[in-house]
């Protein structure tokens, strides 16, 4: 335990340093007093933290572009892409998009040959993996146009021919689970108040700027068939992987905006086609891009074998380590927009059962949205939502507790996941005048009569990732169980009552952490099997004499018998 605590302390100090860098960069951004020399100094000071350096290089390139120095912005973007390639085993980055960004800046600066150098690097990165054919063709045509500008007609003709020879991309979105070798496709719905970036590449389609309102759409994510539940695999230099491959990595393949009327209409048709009635909304946290949030939403849906509508609400987080203060500035406005989206979702989606899962700073948007919704509907006589899960909320604990009584009537059950070893929340606590955060566990775990508080500290080192709810299959299992049977904490696998009474619980790993159990619970939920007899019949019919599944039957029957 001391080793874990020491690791947490070390991580907190590192993050506080990053947040300190963020505070100065963001202050310059908000005031308009942009000091590139200070950003350079911060890069030097954080040389031992590659992810922070990567984010600072992005800030530097953006500031140079805003001041009109496109050549300098392009140079910095090229350095950033090369830096990401060298450190791909340390943090995940979309290398094709980074090289493409640098090439586009060089093109705007009139540096054709330098632009081509970066675009060819992007093409190589795309070609190394089983990349989206539409993107590859688009990039090849962009390179061909630049080669024409440079007077190299033969090269341009060859590139155009190569792009035309690529297999045509799918005209319709792939089914929710395809039979393509090595990976499956998961379609998700999204609502966002991020502004479009102007780029066609899916991972760059939305940036971190705020839009004037909400935009809706569909996204497709591919997930490898062979992977550990809860993980979002990315290329690793240690495995000699330099670009994404859908058979190995979780990839955002397409982003398709649609009108609000079409959006809800497609939802209703989708539910009818699936003979489903459920939906869940995932709201991401700080330092999350649209690309990463879409992948996380698809991963949750896939790992839970979710039948229904997986929906992402993405607010304009910078998706950068040095974006904490700017994220706090935009997330509250997003809460106002989220509340309108939730109202429309309830009225127009056709879903009869809607769950909400909020993570980290995204809980600020969700708590604001639900409080406003409850006040508008007061008195709330019937729950509007089924499960509302506050995962590691980066919200002032006192404020969170005050809001719960107003929010509670909206949901059939409220659940809080917290951890004593969450370094990001500990850093946030220090930055907020030592005020406890609602997602912190241990002795300071929030206990309130309206919510089930679950201390997930027992997941151990996974706490250092600040994403244990999505990254650990045991936590996903608890969410999936809630979606299935709405059991009290004492009836669920792995949860034990604390001394606080029946309002506080802690996770303890046991047989219920089986990966097979997660999959089977999803199948049972989709089949509508809720009684012990339903479960026995389903397992016998679908799995026969499979001994691994037979071993799970007592656990499943016990859950349904409670």
- Which of 389, 512, 383, 362 is CA-nearest to residue 452? 389
Beta carbons of 421 and 470 less than 8 angstroms apart:
no
Model confidence pLDDT, tens digit, residues 357-383: 999 999 999 999 999 999 999 999 999
Beta carbons of 388 and 355 less than 8 angstroms apart:
yes
H/E run at residue 123? helix 112-128
- Which of 106, 127, 128 is CA-nearest to residue 115? 106
DSSP state, residue 170: P
| pLDDT confidence of residue 13 | 47
Lowest mean pLDDT among 37-41, 256-260, 295-299, 312-316: 37-41
Decide: residue 219, CB within 10 A, 0-12 exposed, 13-18 middle, 19+ buried.
buried
Does position 233 have pLDDT exceeding 70, yes or no? no
What average pLDDT does this structure show over 203-215? 91
* Ordered DSSP codes for 272-302: HHHT--EEEEEE--SS--HHHHHHHHHHHHH
- Which of 487, 519, 493, 517 is CA-nearest to residue 507? 493
pLDDT above 90 coverage of the chain, percent: 45
pTM score, two decimals? 0.77
| pLDDT confidence of residue 472 | 64
Residues 130-162 as b or e (16 or more Cβ within 10 Å = b): bbbebbbbebbebbbebbeeeeeeebbeebbee
Average pLDDT, rounded, for the chain: 82
Question: Between residues 517 and 329, which one has the greater pLDDT?
Answer: 517
Could you tell me the pLDDT band of residue 468, with boundaries at 50, 70 and 90?
Answer: low
CA dist., res. 86 & res. 54, Å (int): 11
What average pLDDT does this structure show over 453-457? 90
| pLDDT confidence of residue 30 | 41
| pLDDT confidence of residue 25 | 44
Could you tell me the pLDDT band of residue 508, with boundaries at 50, 70 and 90?
Answer: confident
Question: Between residues 424 and 140, which one has the greater pLDDT?
Answer: 140
Does position 174 have pLDDT exceeding 90, yes or no? no
Does position 562 have pLDDT exceeding 60, yes or no? no
Question: Between residues 547 and 521, which one has the greater pLDDT?
Answer: 521
Lowest mean pLDDT among 124-133, 193-202, 263-272: 124-133
Contacts of 483 (CB under 8 A, 6+ apart): 278, 280, 304, 306, 355, 386, 387, 525
Alpha helices in 410-453 (DSSP H): 423-431
- Within 139-275, strands assigned E span 183-196, 206-224, 251-258
Q: HEC states along 483-547?
A: HHHCCCHHHCCCEEECCCCCCEEEECCCHHHCHHHHHHHHHHHHHCCCCHHHHHHHHHHHHCCCH
Highest mean pLDDT among 153-157, 238-242, 406-410, 533-537: 406-410
Lowest mean pLDDT among 53-57, 337-341, 453-457: 53-57
Model confidence pLDDT, tens digit, residues 84-100: 988 877 777 778 889 98
Could you tell me the pLDDT band of residue 390, with boundaries at 50, 70 and 90?
Answer: very high
What's the full length of the chain, in residues? Answer: 562
């Amino acid at each position: 335990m001391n080793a874990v605590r020491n690791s947490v302390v070390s991580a907190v100090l590192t993050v506080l340093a990053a947040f300190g860098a963020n505070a100065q960069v963001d202050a310059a951004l908000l005031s308009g007093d942009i000091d590139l020399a200070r950003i350079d100094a911060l890069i030097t000071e954080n040389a031992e933290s590659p992810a922070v350096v990567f984010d600072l290089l992005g800030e530097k390139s953006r500031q140079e572009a805003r001041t009109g120095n496109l050549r300098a912005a392009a140079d910095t973007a090229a350095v950033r892409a090369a830096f990401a390639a060298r450190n791909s085993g340390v943090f995940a980055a979309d290398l094709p998009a980074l090289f493409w960004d640098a090439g586009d800046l060089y093109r705007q600066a009139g540096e054709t040959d330098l632009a081509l150098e970066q675009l060819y690097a992007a093409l190589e990165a795309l070609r190394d993996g089983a990349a989206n054919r539409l993107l590859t063709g688009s990039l090849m045509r962009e390179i061909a146009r630049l080669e024409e500008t440079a007077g190299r007609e033969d090269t341009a003709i060859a590139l155009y021919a190569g792009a035309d020879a690529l297999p045509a991309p799918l005209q319709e979105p792939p089914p929710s689970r395809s039979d393509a070798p090595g990976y499956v496709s998961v379609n998700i719905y999204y609502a966002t108040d991020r502004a479009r970036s102007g780029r066609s590449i899916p991972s760059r389609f939305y940036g971190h700027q705020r839009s004037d309102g909400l935009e809706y759409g569909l996204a497709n994510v591919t997930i490898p068939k062979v992977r550990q539940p809860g993980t979002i695999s990315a290329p690793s230099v240690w495995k000699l992987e330099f670009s994404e491959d859908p058979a190995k990595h979780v990839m955002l393949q397409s982003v398709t905006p649609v009108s609000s009327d079409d959006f809800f209409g497609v939802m209703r048709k989708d539910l009818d086609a699936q003979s489903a009635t459920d939906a869940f909304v995932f709201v991401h946290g700080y330092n999350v891009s649209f690309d990463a949030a879409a992948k996380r939403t698809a991963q949750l849906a896939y790992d839970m074998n979710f039948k229904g509508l997986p929906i992402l609400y993405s607010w304009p987080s910078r998706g950068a380590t040095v974006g904490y203060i700017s994220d706090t500035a935009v997330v509250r406005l997003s809460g106002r927009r989220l509340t309108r989206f939730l109202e429309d979702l309830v009225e127009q989606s056709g879903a009869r059962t809607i769950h909400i899962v909020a993570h980290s700073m995204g809980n600020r948007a969700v708590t604001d949205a639900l409080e406003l919704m409850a006040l508008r509907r007061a008195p709330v006589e019937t729950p509007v939502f089924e499960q509302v899960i506050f995962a590691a909320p980066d919200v002032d604990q006192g404020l969170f507790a005050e809001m719960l009584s107003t929010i509670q009537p909206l949901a059939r059950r409220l659940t809080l996941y917290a951890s004593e070893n969450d370094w990001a929340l500990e850093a946030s606590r220090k930055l907020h005048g030592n005020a406890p955060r609602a997602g912190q566990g241990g002795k300071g775990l929030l206990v309130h009569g309206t919510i089930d508080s679950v201390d997930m500290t027992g997941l151990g080192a996974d706490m250092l990732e600040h994403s244990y709810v999505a990254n650990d299959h045991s936590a996903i299992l608890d969410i999936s169980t809630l979606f299935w049977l709405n059991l009290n904490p004492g009836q669920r696998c792995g949860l034990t009552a604390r001394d606080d009474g029946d309002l506080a619980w802690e996770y303890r790993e046991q047989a219920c952490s089986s990966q097979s159990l997660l999959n089977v619970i999803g199948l049972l939920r989709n089949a509508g099997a809720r009684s012990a007899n339903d479960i026995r019949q389903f397992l016998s019919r679908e799995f026969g004499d499979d001994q691994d599944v037979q071993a799970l039957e007592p656990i499943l029957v016990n859950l349904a018998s409670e």
